[in-house]
């Protein structure tokens, strides 16, 4: 490996963030919209704000608040709202890329206690990295997989070369005008994970913009394998064919 990218974390701000979230009790800052600071963009109930705690150095962190209802969740959004949300998020992500101020821009979502998130209220994050290009550590094989469905513009598969391990799902978008198809596949996958996949209650959703394509990767989260933590050795499940078959049986996929 020629280089190893490291993000510098501000521990003092991290401590303040931990104390802030710990002391919230039953008060959700994303529900209290009248007190939101530094709103960057909004579309109805969807709001993009500057992150209150900029814990990553040489970065600009934003939070995309998905809904004004604390109990709403990605897998159950009505279709039109789902499409509105993903169009808004992708637009803001690509616009931040296009400013030229960053080496790369991250766009991702945490859900559940094992996902790395700190607040349960549905949200995503868009983070501009000034000196690091995330694409340098992303291999094309990460998005290859056993086909579940394919149209002219969207491929949906289960990874045969997962990034972390076991069962990961990829959606590959070739035409931005067809982003609603991507939204459908993401929502279907999230619904499957939370309702049919071995007691899964957490996942991450990552977006990548590489070679004019947009990729989405959904990773169910459990306790991370020590083989990956210690040696970066990912494992692939021997059940991926069964999982693909189960998804086709449970859902009408277009």
Instruction: Write the CATH number for 171.
Output: 3.30.428.10
Average pLDDT, the chain: 94
Question: 208 and 120 in one domain?
Answer: no
Question: 173 and 81 in one domain?
Answer: no
What secondary structure, in 3-state letters, does 128-139 show?
Answer: EECCCCHHHHCC
90: pLDDT strictly greater than 50: yes
Which of 84, 119, 135 finishes a domain? Answer: 135
pLDDT tier at 5, thresholds 50, 70, 90 = confident
Count of domains forming the chain: 2
Which of 94, 119, 135 finishes a domain? Answer: 135
Question: 108 and 23 in one domain?
Answer: yes
With H, G, I as helix, E, B as strand and everything else as coil, classify residue 145.
Answer: strand
**Torsion over CA of 184, 189, 195 and 199, rounded to 10 degrees?**
-160
**pLDDT of 25:** 65
233 in a structural domain:
yes
Which of 135, 154, 177 finishes a domain? Answer: 135
Domain that holds residue 79: 11-135
Question: 187 and 97 in one domain?
Answer: no
In angstroms, rounded to a whole number, what is the distance separating the alpha carbons of residues 58 and 45?
A: 30
245 in a structural domain:
yes
223: pLDDT strictly greater than 80: yes
Question: 82 and 29 in one domain?
Answer: yes
Specify the pTM: 0.95
């Amino acid at each position: 490996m020629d280089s190893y990218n490291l993000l510098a974390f501000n521990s003092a701000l991290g401590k303040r963030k931990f104390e802030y979230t710990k002391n919230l009790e039953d008060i959700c800052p994303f529900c209290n919209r009248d007190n939101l600071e530094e709103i960057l963009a909004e579309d109805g109930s969807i709001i993009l704000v500057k992150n209150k705690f900029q814990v990553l150095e040489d970065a600009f962190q934003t939070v995309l608040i998905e809904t004004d209802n604390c109990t709403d969740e990605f897998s159950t959004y009505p279709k039109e709202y789902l499409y509105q949300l993903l169009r808004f998020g992708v637009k803001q992500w690509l616009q931040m890329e296009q400013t030229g101020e960053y080496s790369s821009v991250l766009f991702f979502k945490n859900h559940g206690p094992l996902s790395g998130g700190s607040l349960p209220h549905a949200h995503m994050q868009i983070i501009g990295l000034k000196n690091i290009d995330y694409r340098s550590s992303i291999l094309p094989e990460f998005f290859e997989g056993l086909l579940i469905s394919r149209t002219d513009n969207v491929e949906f598969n289960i990874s045969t070369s997962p990034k972390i391990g076991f069962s990961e799902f990829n959606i590959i978008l070739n035409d931005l005008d067809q982003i609603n198809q991507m939204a459908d596949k993401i929502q279907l996958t999230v619904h499957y994970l939370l309702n049919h996949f071995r007691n899964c209650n957490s996942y991450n959703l990552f977006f990548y913009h590489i070679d004019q394509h947009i990729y989405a990767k959904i990773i169910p989260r459990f306790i991370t394998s020590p083989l990956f933590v210690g040696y970066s050795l990912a494992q692939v499940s021997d059940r991926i064919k069964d999982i693909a078959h189960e998804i086709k049986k449970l859902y009408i996929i277009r």
